[in-house]
């Protein structure tokens, strides 16, 4: 019997589920709502120099890569398996698009985090 690759994707889905359950609400609130409008968080909190220093630190790199990559893999798994619910046949093409997209996002993030320097 052909070995299933489902456990790999389920692990990434689970890891992304935990990480997004822990961090996604506060991250969305900070980067997308309160800092842009400057309420409860000074606009300067996400200034260029500060965020650049964060992305150049190894802890910042690890966090950014984990957040972007695992959020994408979590979403890819849910969207792929949810296609059936909205009447779209899930096959090799949709699977490649879902997980392939998450993989491309991961590789691009890793490349950017390396190219941004240390």
DSSP code for 31 = I
Q: Is-contact 19 70, C-beta < 8 A?
A: yes
**Shortest spacing between CB 98 and other proteins, in angstroms:** 9
| 12 lies in the binding site for other proteins (CB under 8 A) | no
Q: Which two tokens stand for residue 80?
A: 């792929």
* Distances from the Cα of 56 to the Cα of 16, 60, 83, 84, angstroms: 23, 7, 38, 41
Among 7, 87, 91, 93, binds other proteins (CB under 8 A): 87
Task: Please report, as ranges, the residues that interact with other proteins according to CB under 8 A.
Answer: 14, 17-18, 20-33, 35-37, 41-42, 45-46, 48, 51-52, 55, 64, 67-68, 71-72, 74-79, 82, 85, 87, 105, 108-109, 112-113, 115-116
């Amino acid at each position: 019997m052909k070995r299933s690759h489902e456990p790999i994707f389920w692990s990434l889905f689970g890891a992304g589920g935990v990480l997004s359950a822990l961090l996604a609400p506060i991250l969305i609130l900070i980067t997308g709502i309160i800092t842009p409008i400057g309420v409860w968080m000074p606009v300067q909190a996400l200034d260029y120099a500060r965020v650049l220093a964060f992305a150049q630190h190894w802890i910042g790199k690890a966090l950014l890569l984990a957040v972007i990559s695992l959020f994408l893999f979590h979403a890819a798994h849910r969207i792929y398996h949810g296609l059936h619910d909205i009447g779209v046949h899930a096959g090799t093409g949709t699977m490649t698009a879902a997980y392939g997209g998450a993989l491309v996002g991961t590789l691009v993030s890793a490349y950017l985090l390396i190219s941004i320097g240390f």
